[in-house]
Amino acid sequence: MVKSVADTYPIRASGNAWWDTKKAQWISDSSVPYLSGTVYKTLTVDDTDYFVGNVKSAQRYQSDGITFFTSKDTLQSIPFYPGDSQSSISSGVLFSSSSMVAENTSSTTIFGGEFVLPNNIQNIAIYNNLNNTWSGFEGANWQGQISTMAVHENLLYVGGRFTSAAGNNLAVFSISNRSLSLFPKVQTNDGSPANVNIIRHIPAEKAMIVGGNFNSIDSLACTSICSLNTVNFQWNTLGSGLVGEVHDFLLINEKLVTSGNMTLNNSPLTIAEFDFKKNTWGPFDTANLPGPSRAISYDNMTNHLYISGQTADNSSTYLRIWDGQQFKAPVVELGSGSHISKLTMLPIADSKTNILLATGLINLGELGNVSAAFYDGKTWIPYLVTSNDNGESALSSMFFLDQPYVPAIIKKYLPTPIVILVSIAVALGIVFLIVFCAMCIIFMKRKRDHKVNPQSSPSGYYGKPPRTPQSLLTMLKETSDNEDKQHIDTDDHGHYSMDKPRHLEPGTEQFYNMSKSISTEHLHEQALTPFNTAIAMTTARAPPPLPTAHARSVSNHNNFHPAYPATAAAALAAASPRPESYARPISEYQRDTDSF
């Protein structure tokens, strides 16, 4: 630690510090490089500085523990001056002072770790980005480290491995009052150190889920993972049978996918899932991972689940990708000595895809060791290289002032050819529907016209083929039954005569006259066989019977034909003879007509 007269707080230095000769004070910003170790000599050649000595680590920029990356990939230091050179920051979270939720804001940031700042700020500090001021919480004066932090509404949840007189390993603070609200005791059954590794808010269940290595929270027996209801603040267990240490979890398809070194009903389990509907634990599909899992991340764009962990012999770190059916290894495996502490899915600008960010110590082979690297599904892309005083990777965690947005529901669009084909199919379907409706209308109209009663609408039958005498006579007989009584008289010659039915309507009278002429002509030209009776055939040519012989017969049917005069009968008798004639006595006509 170094401090000049002009400095307000001491500056941490790792064996080397930079002095500003003009301002007469130590330089503490990120504009100067970072050197750890002993430097014996410096040389400058062609505007290039060379440092000779026992250098443990060297980086282009230096940081006092917290550094902001702007959108233009530039570094911005904040005034963080812990009183101890061994201070560290291990976790962080951000929230909006107006809505008290950790979403889409850059106004207030909360840091957690092991440090002591001026004004008695310990382990948890709130940095206001607007006025560059620090503030702390009452009751955070414990001993130990912080592993995870989460904000929901007005409460800050802190988990890790720490101990105080009030409680241990888990604490809940009121952000507005800057005071301690809840400090439960998280313990193990055998008295070994317990710890909380992960805290996440699950909105669908209205709960804060806490995972780690423990067997009870206060008086509730709850092993490895437990749920705190955010409405009534009651602790609840999640199923039974899961034992071990939980490192991370995510809610995927209404199931809580959990990573860690666990056993389920005394069977080793590398990754598990909890079904909230059934309240049961089970293995995550057919998980065949090389060893216990640690960090997980989910890509909603591709529905791929990324899982990292250590092999069974702890010799190396693995990364596996779940594609919905099986786990697959990346195209390029990580080198030996790698250790992934966290996986984060980030959106790519001007693209509809996401990219995976892995932090920790990552061996990329020929590219060397890095602290953070991107994986695009095919290759690793180095991003950051950090180091501490001993030259080891010093990146504890990364979080974002603008939370990376990964949509839960992805809109997928069909290819253009498919859209065109669907449009054509819809258009043809509409055309066929119109044609079908027109055919149905025509069919119904014809069906209706077919049922028209000829007696009520005789004009609808004009121009139709002539009916047979049988059908005409039958129709006329049915009509005559409904008419008024007709009068049958005899003329001066003793023949039967029939008057035209009275009270006929104009349309019916026209149809009556037309039917009478057709029936009379047909009866005189055709053989007399309409009544299916025995016929006496004569071989001698005989004149056709006089109309008076038919008048009786026809009148018995429908009283239809009037008596012919004698001159007309003589004319018919003098007509050209026919090959064969049928003559029947008047008694047979009367007998046949009586059968009707």
Q: What is the pLDDT of residues 409-443, one digit of tens each?
A: 445 567 788 889 999 999 999 999 999 999 998 88
Q: Which of 530, 524, 500 is nearest to 513 (CA)?
A: 500
The whole-model pTM stands at: 0.63
Q: Tell me: the pLDDT tens digits for 76-86?
A: 777 777 766 67
Mean per-residue pLDDT, 351-379: 87
H or E, element range at 557: helix 547-558
Which tokens in the block code for residue 504?
């006929």
Query: Tokens in use for 55?
Result: 């250098």
pLDDT bracket for residue 73 (50, 70, 90) = low
CA separation for the pair 70, 72 (Å, rounded): 5
The Cα–Cα gap between 48 and 551 comes to 142
Is residue 146 within 8 Å of 113, Cβ to Cβ?
A: yes
Range of lowest pLDDT (259-273, 287-301, 432-446, 499-513) = 499-513
Q: Kindly state the average pLDDT of the residues 572-586.
A: 45
Band of residue 586 on the pLDDT scale cut at 50, 70, 90: very low
**Which residue from 321, 399, 416, 360 is spatially nearest to 127, judged by alpha carbons?**
399
- The closest alpha carbon to 391, from 39, 65, 58, belongs to 58
Contact partners, residue 355, CB within 8 Å, separation at least 6: 345, 346, 347, 348, 374, 375, 376
| Nearest alpha-carbon partner for 359 in 386, 397, 311, 309 | 397
Given this model, what pLDDT does residue 539 score?
39
Q: What is the pLDDT of residue 507?
A: 53
Of 310, 286, 307, the residue nearest 297 (C-alpha): 307
pLDDT of residue 30: 65
Residues 375/359, Cβ–Cβ less than 8 Å: no
Rg (the chain; Cα; Å):
53
CB 260 within 8 A of CB 294: yes
DSSP single-letter state for residue 404 = P
Q: What per-residue confidence (pLDDT) applies to 15?
A: 66
What is each CA distance from 315 to 291, 356, 557, in whole angstroms?
11, 23, 118
Q: Are strands 155-163 and 168-174 parallel, antiparallel or unpaired?
A: antiparallel
**Which of residues 491 and 103 earns the better pLDDT score?**
491
Q: Output the 3-class SS for 435-472.
A: HHHHHHHHHHHHHHHHCCCCCCCHHHHCCCCCCCHHHH
Q: Which of 119-133, 317-331, 441-455 has the weakest average pLDDT? A: 441-455
Q: Three-class SS of residue 341?
A: strand
Task: Provide the pLDDT for residue 107.
Answer: 60
Percent of the chain's residues with pLDDT above 90: 22
User: What's the mean pLDDT in 567-595?
Assistant: 45
So what's the pLDDT on residue 69? Answer: 73
Please tell me the predicted confidence (pLDDT) of residue 404.
53
pLDDT in tens, 276-291: 999 999 988 766 788 8
- pLDDT (mean) for 505-521: 60
Q: What is the pLDDT of residue 284?
A: 86
Measured distance CA(306)–CA(320) in Å, rounded = 6
Lowest mean pLDDT among 2-11, 131-140, 547-556: 547-556
- Per-residue pLDDT for 559 more than 80? no
Which DSSP symbol is given to 577?
P
In contact, 25 and 7? CB cutoff 8 Å? yes
What does the mean pLDDT of the chain come to?
75
Report, as an integer, the average pLDDT of 140-153.
90
Query: For the residues 90-97, what does the mean pLDDT come to?
Result: 76
Beta strand pairing call for 255-264 and 155-163: unpaired
pLDDT for res 591:
46
Q: Where is pLDDT greater, at 85 or 231? A: 231
Query: Domain residues of the chain, as ranges?
Result: 1-62, 458-594
What's residue 513's pLDDT?
67
pLDDT above 80 (res 488): no
Closest CA to 297 of 381, 398, 385: 398
Q: Which helix (H) or strand (E) holds 267?
A: strand 267-275
557 token code pair: 């049917």
Q: What integer is the mean pLDDT of 134-159?
A: 90
Q: For the purposes of burial, counting CB atoms within 10 Å of the CB of 181, is it exposed (0-12), middle (13-18) or buried (19 or more)?
A: middle
Poorest-pLDDT segment among 61-65, 320-324, 378-382: 61-65
> Residue 162 — very low, low, confident or very high, per pLDDT cuts 50/70/90?
very high
584: Cβ–Cβ under 8 A, 6 or more apart, which residues?
528, 535, 536, 545
Q: How is 20-79 classified by DSSP, letter by letter? A: ETTTTEE--STTS-EEEEEEEEEEEETTEEEEEEEEEEEESS--SS-EEE-TTS-EEE--
Contact 281, 271 (CB under 8 A): no
Residue-level pLDDT at 465: 54
Task: Tell me what pLDDT residue 542 has.
Answer: 45
Residues 173-228 have pLDDT tens digits of 998 888 899 899 999 998 899 999 999 999 988 999 999 999 999 889 999 999 99
- Residues 127, 472: Cα–Cα separation, whole Å: 110
Q: Which residue has the higher pLDDT, 30 or 87?
A: 87
Q: DSSP for 117-176?
A: ETTTEEEEEEEETTTTEEEE-TT---EEEEEEEEEETTEEEEEEEEE-SS-EEEEEEETT
Q: Within 10 Å of residue 534's Cβ, how many Cβ atoms?
A: 6
Composition of the chain by helix, strand, coil, percent to 5: 20, 35, 45
Looking at residue 335, its pLDDT comes to 86
Model confidence at 378: pLDDT above 90? no
- Is the pLDDT assigned to residue 249 strictly greater than 90? yes
Distance CA 212, CA 226 (A): 9
